[in-house]
Structure 1
Amino acid sequence: MDDTGLPQAWEVRHSNSKNLPYYFNAVDKVSRWEPPQGTDTEKLKKYMATHHSGSQGLNTARPEGKIRAAHLLVKHRDSRRPASWREAQITRTKEDAMSIIKAHEQKIKSGATTLGELAMSESDCSSARKRGDLGYFGKGDMQQEFEEAAFGLQPGQMSSVVETASGLHLIERLE
Protein backbone atom coordinates (compact mmCIF):
# COMPACT_ATOMS: atom_id res chain seq x y z
CA MET A 1 0.00 0.00 0.00
CA ASP A 2 1.19 3.53 -0.73
CA ASP A 3 2.46 5.62 2.15
CA THR A 4 -0.13 8.25 3.00
CA GLY A 5 2.15 10.23 5.30
CA LEU A 6 -0.51 9.99 8.02
CA PRO A 7 0.39 9.08 11.63
CA GLN A 8 -0.14 5.49 12.77
CA ALA A 9 -3.78 4.30 12.98
CA TRP A 10 -4.94 7.04 10.58
CA GLU A 11 -6.23 6.25 7.08
CA VAL A 12 -7.88 8.03 4.19
CA ARG A 13 -11.52 7.15 3.60
CA HIS A 14 -14.09 8.49 1.15
CA SER A 15 -17.32 10.23 2.19
CA ASN A 16 -20.17 9.13 -0.06
CA SER A 17 -22.41 12.00 1.06
CA LYS A 18 -19.85 14.74 0.28
CA ASN A 19 -17.91 12.79 -2.39
CA LEU A 20 -14.68 13.83 -0.65
CA PRO A 21 -11.84 12.03 1.09
CA TYR A 22 -11.56 12.35 4.86
CA TYR A 23 -9.22 11.07 7.58
CA PHE A 24 -10.19 8.28 9.99
CA ASN A 25 -8.42 6.94 13.06
CA ALA A 26 -9.33 3.24 13.24
CA VAL A 27 -8.19 2.94 16.88
CA ASP A 28 -9.97 5.98 18.34
CA LYS A 29 -12.88 5.88 15.83
CA VAL A 30 -12.38 9.59 15.13
CA SER A 31 -12.90 11.17 11.73
CA ARG A 32 -11.98 14.62 10.45
CA TRP A 33 -11.72 16.58 7.21
CA GLU A 34 -8.25 17.98 7.93
CA PRO A 35 -5.15 15.78 8.24
CA PRO A 36 -4.22 14.98 11.86
CA GLN A 37 -1.22 16.51 13.61
CA GLY A 38 2.01 14.72 12.72
CA THR A 39 1.09 14.19 9.07
CA ASP A 40 3.90 14.32 6.50
CA THR A 41 2.11 16.75 4.17
CA GLU A 42 4.43 16.14 1.21
CA LYS A 43 3.75 12.38 1.28
CA LEU A 44 0.04 13.03 1.78
CA LYS A 45 -0.11 15.40 -1.22
CA LYS A 46 1.49 12.74 -3.45
CA TYR A 47 -0.84 10.04 -2.13
CA MET A 48 -3.95 12.23 -2.59
CA ALA A 49 -2.90 13.29 -6.10
CA THR A 50 -2.58 9.63 -7.08
CA HIS A 51 -5.64 8.21 -5.34
CA HIS A 52 -8.14 10.98 -4.69
CA SER A 53 -7.98 13.45 -7.54
CA GLY A 54 -10.07 13.33 -10.65
CA SER A 55 -13.64 14.09 -11.38
CA GLN A 56 -15.94 11.52 -9.87
CA GLY A 57 -19.57 12.01 -10.67
CA LEU A 58 -19.21 14.79 -13.22
CA ASN A 59 -21.18 12.92 -15.89
CA THR A 60 -24.31 12.58 -13.80
CA ALA A 61 -27.42 14.63 -14.53
CA ARG A 62 -28.18 17.50 -12.18
CA PRO A 63 -30.45 16.36 -9.34
CA GLU A 64 -33.77 18.23 -9.02
CA GLY A 65 -33.51 21.46 -7.01
CA LYS A 66 -29.74 21.25 -6.67
CA ILE A 67 -26.90 23.32 -8.05
CA ARG A 68 -23.20 22.65 -8.42
CA ALA A 69 -20.59 25.13 -7.30
CA ALA A 70 -16.90 25.41 -6.58
CA HIS A 71 -15.28 27.64 -4.02
CA LEU A 72 -11.98 28.89 -2.72
CA LEU A 73 -11.88 29.16 1.09
CA VAL A 74 -9.45 31.24 3.14
CA LYS A 75 -9.72 30.45 6.84
CA HIS A 76 -8.55 32.64 9.70
CA ARG A 77 -7.91 32.06 13.41
CA ASP A 78 -11.55 32.84 14.27
CA SER A 79 -12.92 30.34 11.73
CA ARG A 80 -15.02 27.46 13.04
CA ARG A 81 -12.12 25.03 12.55
CA PRO A 82 -8.88 27.01 12.14
CA ALA A 83 -6.99 24.16 10.44
CA SER A 84 -6.80 22.77 6.93
CA TRP A 85 -4.95 20.33 4.69
CA ARG A 86 -2.49 23.17 4.11
CA GLU A 87 -1.86 24.19 7.73
CA ALA A 88 -2.33 22.27 11.01
CA GLN A 89 -3.11 25.52 12.81
CA ILE A 90 -4.24 28.69 11.07
CA THR A 91 -3.18 31.81 12.95
CA ARG A 92 -3.84 34.60 10.43
CA THR A 93 -6.29 37.34 11.36
CA LYS A 94 -9.59 37.85 9.59
CA GLU A 95 -8.14 41.04 8.09
CA ASP A 96 -5.14 39.10 6.71
CA ALA A 97 -7.51 36.46 5.30
CA MET A 98 -9.54 39.23 3.63
CA SER A 99 -6.39 40.66 2.01
CA ILE A 100 -5.46 37.19 0.72
CA ILE A 101 -8.89 36.41 -0.73
CA LYS A 102 -9.21 39.89 -2.29
CA ALA A 103 -5.86 39.29 -4.06
CA HIS A 104 -7.18 35.91 -5.29
CA GLU A 105 -10.37 37.62 -6.51
CA GLN A 106 -8.33 40.15 -8.50
CA LYS A 107 -6.20 37.41 -10.12
CA ILE A 108 -9.35 35.57 -11.20
CA LYS A 109 -11.16 38.71 -12.43
CA SER A 110 -8.07 39.80 -14.40
CA GLY A 111 -8.05 36.45 -16.22
CA ALA A 112 -4.59 35.53 -14.87
CA THR A 113 -6.02 32.30 -13.42
CA THR A 114 -9.29 30.53 -12.69
CA LEU A 115 -10.96 29.84 -9.38
CA GLY A 116 -10.42 26.10 -9.93
CA GLU A 117 -6.70 26.50 -10.64
CA LEU A 118 -6.17 28.72 -7.61
CA ALA A 119 -8.30 26.54 -5.32
CA MET A 120 -6.02 23.53 -5.90
CA SER A 121 -3.10 25.21 -4.15
CA GLU A 122 -4.66 28.04 -2.13
CA SER A 123 -8.02 26.86 -0.74
CA ASP A 124 -8.23 25.80 2.90
CA CYS A 125 -11.06 23.38 2.05
CA SER A 126 -10.49 19.70 1.33
CA SER A 127 -12.37 20.30 -1.95
CA ALA A 128 -9.13 21.93 -3.19
CA ARG A 129 -8.05 18.61 -4.70
CA LYS A 130 -11.19 18.74 -6.86
CA ARG A 131 -10.53 22.32 -8.00
CA GLY A 132 -12.89 23.55 -5.27
CA ASP A 133 -15.82 21.57 -6.71
CA LEU A 134 -18.38 20.88 -3.96
CA GLY A 135 -20.58 18.76 -6.19
CA TYR A 136 -24.36 19.10 -6.14
CA PHE A 137 -26.14 20.55 -3.14
CA GLY A 138 -29.59 21.81 -2.37
CA LYS A 139 -31.18 24.33 -0.05
CA GLY A 140 -30.34 23.57 3.56
CA ASP A 141 -27.12 21.69 2.73
CA MET A 142 -24.71 24.61 3.23
CA GLN A 143 -24.31 27.47 5.68
CA GLN A 144 -26.98 30.10 5.01
CA GLU A 145 -24.66 32.86 3.75
CA PHE A 146 -22.93 30.43 1.39
CA GLU A 147 -26.20 29.00 0.12
CA GLU A 148 -27.76 32.41 -0.54
CA ALA A 149 -24.71 33.55 -2.50
CA ALA A 150 -24.40 30.31 -4.51
CA PHE A 151 -28.10 30.10 -5.42
CA GLY A 152 -28.01 33.81 -6.38
CA LEU A 153 -25.40 33.17 -9.09
CA GLN A 154 -25.94 32.12 -12.68
CA PRO A 155 -23.77 29.27 -14.04
CA GLY A 156 -20.33 30.68 -14.83
CA GLN A 157 -20.68 33.60 -12.41
CA MET A 158 -18.40 34.16 -9.41
CA SER A 159 -19.46 35.79 -6.15
CA SER A 160 -17.68 38.56 -4.36
CA VAL A 161 -16.23 37.57 -0.96
CA VAL A 162 -18.75 35.64 1.17
CA GLU A 163 -18.19 35.34 4.92
CA THR A 164 -19.38 32.27 6.87
CA ALA A 165 -18.39 30.63 10.16
CA SER A 166 -15.91 28.56 8.11
CA GLY A 167 -14.04 31.59 6.77
CA LEU A 168 -14.02 33.70 3.61
CA HIS A 169 -15.13 32.23 0.28
CA LEU A 170 -15.19 33.01 -3.41
CA ILE A 171 -17.94 30.91 -4.99
CA GLU A 172 -18.29 29.99 -8.65
CA ARG A 173 -21.58 28.51 -9.80
CA LEU A 174 -20.81 25.60 -12.14
CA GLU A 175 -24.33 24.30 -12.92
Structure 2
Amino acid sequence: MSGVSRWEPPVGTDVDKLKSYLATHHKTSKPSSDVPQIPKPKEQAGGASGVGESKIRAAHLLVKHRDSRRPSSRRQAQITRTKEDALEELRGHERRIRDENDPATLGSLAFEFSDCSSYSKSGDLGFFSRGMMQKEFEDAAFALAVGEMTGPVETASGVHLIQR
Protein backbone atom coordinates (compact mmCIF):
# COMPACT_ATOMS: atom_id res chain seq x y z
CA MET A 1 0.00 0.00 0.00
CA SER A 2 1.40 3.38 -0.99
CA GLY A 3 -0.53 5.52 1.50
CA VAL A 4 -1.83 7.64 -1.39
CA SER A 5 -5.55 8.36 -1.41
CA ARG A 6 -7.16 7.92 -4.79
CA TRP A 7 -10.78 7.62 -5.82
CA GLU A 8 -12.17 7.23 -9.27
CA PRO A 9 -15.93 7.53 -9.88
CA PRO A 10 -17.68 4.36 -11.07
CA VAL A 11 -17.81 3.77 -14.81
CA GLY A 12 -20.77 5.61 -16.32
CA THR A 13 -20.88 8.31 -13.66
CA ASP A 14 -21.90 11.73 -14.93
CA VAL A 15 -18.85 13.63 -13.65
CA ASP A 16 -20.49 17.04 -14.14
CA LYS A 17 -23.48 16.01 -12.00
CA LEU A 18 -21.11 14.60 -9.38
CA LYS A 19 -19.10 17.83 -9.28
CA SER A 20 -22.30 19.87 -9.01
CA TYR A 21 -23.54 17.70 -6.14
CA LEU A 22 -20.22 17.94 -4.30
CA ALA A 23 -20.04 21.70 -4.79
CA THR A 24 -23.59 22.11 -3.48
CA HIS A 25 -23.52 19.66 -0.58
CA HIS A 26 -19.91 19.40 0.54
CA LYS A 27 -18.40 22.85 0.33
CA THR A 28 -18.48 25.27 3.22
CA SER A 29 -16.84 28.62 3.67
CA LYS A 30 -15.03 27.50 6.81
CA PRO A 31 -14.06 24.20 8.40
CA SER A 32 -16.65 22.58 10.65
CA SER A 33 -15.94 22.17 14.34
CA ASP A 34 -15.20 18.44 13.97
CA VAL A 35 -12.33 19.17 11.59
CA PRO A 36 -8.93 19.47 13.33
CA GLN A 37 -7.83 23.08 13.61
CA ILE A 38 -4.13 23.60 12.99
CA PRO A 39 -2.65 26.68 14.66
CA LYS A 40 -0.29 29.17 13.06
CA PRO A 41 3.29 27.87 12.87
CA LYS A 42 5.87 28.87 15.44
CA GLU A 43 8.94 30.71 14.27
CA GLN A 44 11.78 28.26 13.83
CA ALA A 45 13.45 28.34 17.20
CA GLY A 46 15.70 25.34 16.85
CA GLY A 47 13.39 23.09 18.89
CA ALA A 48 13.45 19.33 18.77
CA SER A 49 12.86 18.14 15.23
CA GLY A 50 11.47 14.80 14.15
CA VAL A 51 14.99 13.49 13.53
CA GLY A 52 15.29 10.21 15.40
CA GLU A 53 11.53 9.84 15.89
CA SER A 54 9.91 6.77 14.35
CA LYS A 55 6.57 8.51 13.68
CA ILE A 56 5.49 12.11 13.40
CA ARG A 57 2.20 13.88 12.76
CA ALA A 58 1.98 16.55 10.10
CA ALA A 59 -0.47 18.52 8.01
CA HIS A 60 0.04 19.99 4.57
CA LEU A 61 -1.43 22.14 1.87
CA LEU A 62 -0.84 20.77 -1.64
CA VAL A 63 -1.03 22.81 -4.84
CA LYS A 64 -0.82 20.62 -7.93
CA HIS A 65 0.31 21.72 -11.39
CA ARG A 66 -0.06 20.27 -14.87
CA ASP A 67 3.16 18.24 -14.50
CA SER A 68 2.09 16.68 -11.18
CA ARG A 69 1.79 12.91 -11.20
CA ARG A 70 -2.02 13.17 -11.03
CA PRO A 71 -2.96 16.64 -12.32
CA SER A 72 -6.56 16.63 -11.04
CA SER A 73 -8.31 17.37 -7.77
CA ARG A 74 -11.71 17.88 -6.17
CA ARG A 75 -11.60 21.50 -7.36
CA GLN A 76 -10.45 20.92 -10.93
CA ALA A 77 -10.82 17.84 -13.14
CA GLN A 78 -7.78 18.77 -15.23
CA ILE A 79 -5.21 21.05 -13.64
CA THR A 80 -3.57 23.29 -16.22
CA ARG A 81 -1.54 25.71 -14.06
CA THR A 82 2.22 25.70 -14.52
CA LYS A 83 4.62 24.72 -11.77
CA GLU A 84 5.60 28.38 -11.47
CA ASP A 85 1.94 29.37 -11.03
CA ALA A 86 1.50 26.64 -8.40
CA LEU A 87 4.55 27.94 -6.51
CA GLU A 88 3.23 31.50 -6.70
CA GLU A 89 -0.15 30.38 -5.32
CA LEU A 90 1.54 28.40 -2.53
CA ARG A 91 3.78 31.35 -1.60
CA GLY A 92 0.65 33.50 -1.31
CA HIS A 93 -0.80 30.96 1.14
CA GLU A 94 2.50 30.92 3.03
CA ARG A 95 2.50 34.73 3.36
CA ARG A 96 -1.03 34.65 4.78
CA ILE A 97 -0.18 31.91 7.28
CA ARG A 98 2.94 33.70 8.51
CA ASP A 99 1.17 37.09 8.75
CA GLU A 100 0.34 37.73 12.41
CA ASN A 101 -2.52 40.04 11.35
CA ASP A 102 -4.17 37.45 9.09
CA PRO A 103 -6.29 34.82 10.87
CA ALA A 104 -5.51 32.22 8.17
CA THR A 105 -3.85 29.01 9.32
CA LEU A 106 -2.43 26.16 7.30
CA GLY A 107 -5.51 24.14 8.30
CA SER A 108 -8.04 26.75 7.20
CA LEU A 109 -6.29 27.32 3.87
CA ALA A 110 -5.80 23.57 3.29
CA PHE A 111 -9.53 23.07 3.89
CA GLU A 112 -10.34 25.66 1.25
CA PHE A 113 -7.53 25.36 -1.30
CA SER A 114 -5.59 22.07 -0.99
CA ASP A 115 -5.58 19.73 -3.98
CA CYS A 116 -5.16 16.73 -1.63
CA SER A 117 -8.03 14.68 -0.24
CA SER A 118 -6.71 15.54 3.23
CA TYR A 119 -8.36 18.96 2.75
CA SER A 120 -11.41 17.54 4.57
CA LYS A 121 -9.24 17.16 7.70
CA SER A 122 -7.65 20.60 7.30
CA GLY A 123 -4.64 18.95 5.68
CA ASP A 124 -4.01 16.63 8.66
CA LEU A 125 -2.18 13.50 7.48
CA GLY A 126 -2.14 11.87 10.89
CA PHE A 127 0.92 9.96 12.09
CA PHE A 128 3.34 8.46 9.59
CA SER A 129 6.78 6.90 9.62
CA ARG A 130 9.67 7.04 7.19
CA GLY A 131 9.00 5.21 3.96
CA MET A 132 5.30 6.13 3.84
CA MET A 133 5.63 9.46 2.00
CA GLN A 134 7.61 10.73 -0.97
CA LYS A 135 11.24 11.26 0.07
CA GLU A 136 11.28 15.06 -0.39
CA PHE A 137 8.10 15.40 1.68
CA GLU A 138 9.31 12.99 4.34
CA ASP A 139 12.73 14.64 4.69
CA ALA A 140 11.15 18.09 5.08
CA ALA A 141 8.51 16.89 7.56
CA PHE A 142 10.95 14.95 9.75
CA ALA A 143 13.30 17.98 9.87
CA LEU A 144 10.60 20.14 11.51
CA ALA A 145 10.08 20.69 15.21
CA VAL A 146 6.49 20.54 16.44
CA GLY A 147 4.72 23.75 15.43
CA GLU A 148 7.15 24.65 12.62
CA MET A 149 6.21 24.96 8.96
CA THR A 150 8.31 24.54 5.84
CA GLY A 151 8.52 26.86 2.89
CA PRO A 152 7.50 25.33 -0.46
CA VAL A 153 8.50 21.67 -0.84
CA GLU A 154 8.42 20.18 -4.35
CA THR A 155 7.44 16.54 -4.92
CA ALA A 156 6.03 14.55 -7.82
CA SER A 157 2.56 15.34 -6.41
CA GLY A 158 3.02 19.12 -6.64
CA VAL A 159 4.18 21.77 -4.18
CA HIS A 160 3.43 21.63 -0.46
CA LEU A 161 3.57 23.61 2.75
CA ILE A 162 4.09 21.17 5.62
CA GLN A 163 3.49 21.85 9.31
CA ARG A 164 4.17 19.65 12.32
TM-score (ref. length: structure 1): 0.70
The residue number in structure 2 matching 1:5 is: none
- Is residue 145 of structure 2 the alignment partner of residue 148 of structure 1? no
The number of equivalent residue pairs is 141
**Does structure 2 conserve the Cα–Cα contact (< 8 Å) formed by 1:66 and 1:139?**
yes
**Does structure 2 conserve the Cα–Cα contact (< 8 Å) formed by 1:49 and 1:129?**
no
1:66 and 1:45 map into 2 onto residues whose CA distance is 35
Residue 117 of structure 1 deviates from its aligned partner by: 0.4
The residue number in structure 1 matching 2:150 is: 159
User: In the superposition, relative to structure 1, how do residues 39 and 129 fare at CA in structure 2: closer, same or farther (>3 Å)?
Assistant: farther
- Is residue 87 of structure 2 the alignment partner of residue 109 of structure 1? no
Match of 1:131 among 118, 122, 141: 122
Q: Give unmatched runs, 5+ long, in structure 2.
A: 37-52
User: In the superposition, relative to structure 1, how do residues 151 and 85 fare at CA in structure 2: closer, same or farther (>3 Å)?
Assistant: same
**Does structure 2 conserve the Cα–Cα contact (< 8 Å) formed by 1:37 and 1:88?**
no
The residue number in structure 1 matching 2:110 is: 119
**Does structure 2 conserve the Cα–Cα contact (< 8 Å) formed by 1:72 and 1:122?**
yes
Q: Give unmatched runs, 5+ long, in structure 1.
A: 1-16, 29-34, 57-63
1:70 and 1:98 map into 2 onto residues whose CA distance is 18
**Does structure 1 conserve the Cα–Cα contact (< 8 Å) formed by 2:56 and 2:142?**
yes
- Is residue 88 of structure 2 the alignment partner of residue 82 of structure 1? no
Higher relative contact order (CA 8 A, sep 6+): 2
TM-score (ref. length: structure 2): 0.75
CA offsets 1:3-37 (integer angstroms, 9 cap, x no match): xxxxxxxxxxxxxx96x784552x69xxxxxx984
Residue 97 of structure 1 deviates from its aligned partner by: 0.7
The sequence identity of aligned pairs, in percent, is 54
